[in-house]
Amino acid sequence: MILDSLLPAAASTYAGDIDRLFDVITVLVMIPFTIACFLFFSFILKFKAKDGVKALYITGTEHRYMKWIHRAHFPILTFDLIIVVMAINVWYDVKQDLPEMESEVRVIAQQWAWTFVHPGADNTMGTADDITKVNELHVSTGTLYHYKLEALDVLHNFSVPVFRLKQDAIPGRVITGWFEPTVTGEYDIQCAEICGIGHGLMPARIHISSPEAYSAWVERESAAALARAMGESKSIELAGN
């Protein structure tokens, strides 16, 4: 729809659902809005003061007048109901129901940078080949990710507009959510909760690759991470000696 063209590219499995909800709400609210505006402006034009013409005396309490107001409730309640049902459905899928994961990432926010930890080639978090990156998140299409979101100091918000994803990060908590990328490309990650002086300087990028390209990247990076880890443990040993 035309309205979608206002929104940025859609790159997650649920982005389309949120866009559809946006469209439906727009259409539904425009109906009473247009009617209200039409009546409003036509009354203003039609009932301009004229010499010798007195205004009508309408108390607005008789049934024959009140019914116009009461009738308006039915469409409004109906529209509300449609919007509530759709909104809760989308909400349930995106925020409440956590589908089975295929891979995971840790997202750590702090003043004023993002740290992303990716599982390495073993696809298990917390092992020596984990890949840690600052301000770049690497994911592949067609994989269902769980993110584990943390904050080290103040509130931040992990926002990926192309995914239509947004979640506050709270110090002291780990918040789990999910996403599944659908198209490749490189997009903005923004912090959407004011987090101090550097809030406007907290940009990160999400790199979405095809599964093949992603595997190649993981291969390379986790080998490097392993080598680094080995080097570190060696140097610890050496220091111990």
Interaction partner, residue 226 (Cu ion, other proteins, none; CB < 5-8 Å by kind) = none
| Interface with other proteins, residue 68, by CB under 8 A | yes
CA distance 20 to 18: 5
CA distance 130 to 120: 5
| Interface with other proteins, residue 155, by CB under 8 A | yes
CA distance 46 to 42: 6
**Residues near Cu ion (CB under 5 A):** 156, 191, 195, 199, 202
Count residues binding other proteins (CB under 8 A): 86
Q: Which amino acid is present at 217?
A: W
Choosing from 161, 208, 222, 225, the residue that interacts with other proteins (CB under 8 A) is 161
Q: By the 8 A CB rule, do 119 and 57 touch?
A: no
**Nearer Cβ to Cu ion (126/172):** 172
Choosing from 107, 165, 218, 225, the residue that interacts with other proteins (CB under 8 A) is 165
**Phi and psi (nearest 5°) for 140?**
-120, 155
Restricted to residues 195-234, the positions that interact with other proteins (CB under 8 A) are 195-201, 203
Nearest to 102 by CA among 147, 163, 143: 143
Strands of 204-209's sheet, edge to edge? 136-140, 204-209, 185-191, 156-160, 165-169
**At its nearest, how many Å lie between Cu ion and the CB of residue 15?**
22
Binding mask 20-39 for other proteins (x = CB under 8 A): -xx--xx-xxx-xx--xx-x
By three-state DSSP, how is residue 58 classified? coil
**At its nearest, how many Å lie between other proteins and the CB of residue 117?**
20
CA distance 193 to 155: 7
Binding segment for other proteins (CB under 8 A), chosen from 124-132, 189-197, 206-214, 226-234, is: 189-197
**Nearer Cβ to Cu ion (156/207):** 156
**Nearer Cβ to Cu ion (133/199):** 199
